[in-house]
């Protein structure tokens, strides 16, 4: 079985705008080289919001060099970007935005959620792009819950967002091999999973608890990082658990990031700021009201 390299959690929440109370579970300045191609994870909520006439969220801001992936568990997120992408994602939906050569976007609570209030919970990931794809045109994928295949297990189920599990193939289009599985596992069940040797592999528990590889107990809001050797890992489910599996082929390329830009060299970062400041990443012509 795979060796557990590290267990990480964050107990220091901060706000992104006025709509997303997040804990940054990992960042491109700490675990990124071990998580490749994943760069960052923000876990928002679970948090209760009261009804409001205003649309909470975060206003126009830029990105270049990677993708943002938002998985909504409760609540609604509306997105709009300068490349023409946009839409509302609801519980079970996934937004996969490829910033690539650069854009500006905004993210706010959906209109219905703002009006009615309720529980909000989501995960947002930053996914690195290979150097050859960092200056591609931006792309937006709004993936509905009904599009995501479900594999039933003895004591649970897996939604395959990206990559493959069993005979199911995830709908997300990716630039490098990635597996992203939304997993719901029942207390008392035990599961053994097989993944590609050489790929990174980690599990993030949103709620519940598991024992991983007969070794460590992983609880709510904790990330367990495994090594790239061997191909199997084992989960003993101690409580009903909601979790994400993240895995992929490491890019093995330099990571140079500053704020909303992640490239391969300092010169590319400077160019990203120049291009943003000169308006080359565009502007929102019809921001969310």
Residues 6+ apart with CB under 8 A from 30: none
- pLDDT in the model for residue 43: 97
Distances (CA, A) of 129 to 19, 70, 260: 27, 16, 14
Phi and psi angles of residue 32, each rounded to the nearest 5 degrees, phi first: -55, -40
- Per-residue confidence (pLDDT) for residue 117, from 0 to 100: 97
**Digitized pLDDT (tens) for each residue of the chain, 289 residues in all:** 999 999 999 988 999 999 999 999 999 988 888 899 999 999 998 999 999 999 999 999 999 999 999 999 999 999 999 999 999 999 999 999 999 999 999 999 999 999 999 999 999 999 999 999 999 999 999 999 999 999 999 999 999 999 999 999 999 999 999 999 999 999 999 999 999 999 999 999 999 999 999 999 999 999 999 999 999 999 999 999 999 999 999 999 999 999 999 999 999 999 999 999 999 999 998 777 6
The pLDDT value given to residue 289: 66
Burial per residue of 100-139, b for 16 or more beta-carbon CB atoms within 10 angstroms, e otherwise:
bbbbbbbbbbbeebbeeeeebbbbbbbbbbeeebbeeebb
Helix (H, G, I), strand (E, B) or coil at 8: strand
Q: Return the SS3 of 152.
A: strand
Q: Which pLDDT belongs to residue 33?
A: 80
């Amino acid at each position: 079985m795979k060796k557990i390299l590290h267990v990480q959690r964050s107990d220091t929440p901060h706000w992104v705008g006025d709509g997303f109370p997040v804990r940054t579970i990992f960042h491109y300045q700490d675990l990124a080289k071990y998580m490749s191609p994943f760069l960052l994870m923000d876990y928002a909520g679970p948090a209760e919001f009261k009804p409001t006439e205003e649309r909470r969220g975060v206003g126009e801001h830029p990105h270049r060099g990677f993708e943002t992936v938002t998985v909504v568990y409760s609540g609604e997120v509306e997105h709009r970007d300068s490349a023409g992408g946009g839409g509302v994602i609801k519980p079970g939906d996934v937004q996969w935005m490829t910033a690539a050569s650069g854009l500006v976007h905004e993210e706010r609570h959906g209109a219905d959620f703002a009006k009615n209030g309720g529980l909000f919970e989501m995960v947002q990931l930053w996914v690195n792009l290979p150097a050859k794809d960092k200056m591609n045109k931006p792309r937006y994928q709004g993936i509905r819950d009904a599009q995501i295949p479900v594999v039933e297990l003895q004591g649970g189920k897996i939604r395959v967002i990206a990559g493959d599990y069993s005979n199911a193939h995830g709908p997300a289009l990716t630039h490098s091999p990635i597996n992203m599985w939304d997993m719901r596992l029942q207390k008392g069940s035990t599961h053994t999973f097989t993944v590609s040797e050489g790929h990174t592999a980690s599990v993030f528990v949103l709620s519940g608890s598991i024992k991983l590889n007969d070794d460590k107990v992983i609880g709510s809001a904790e990330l367990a990082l495994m090594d790239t050797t061997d191909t199997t890992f084992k989960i003993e489910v101690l409580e009903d658990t909601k979790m994400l599996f993240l895995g992929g082929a490491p890019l093995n390329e330099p990571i140079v990031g500053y704020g909303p830009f992640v490239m391969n060299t300092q010169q590319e970062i400077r160019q990203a700021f120049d291009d943003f400041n000169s308006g080359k990443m565009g502007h929102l012509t019809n921001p969310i009201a």
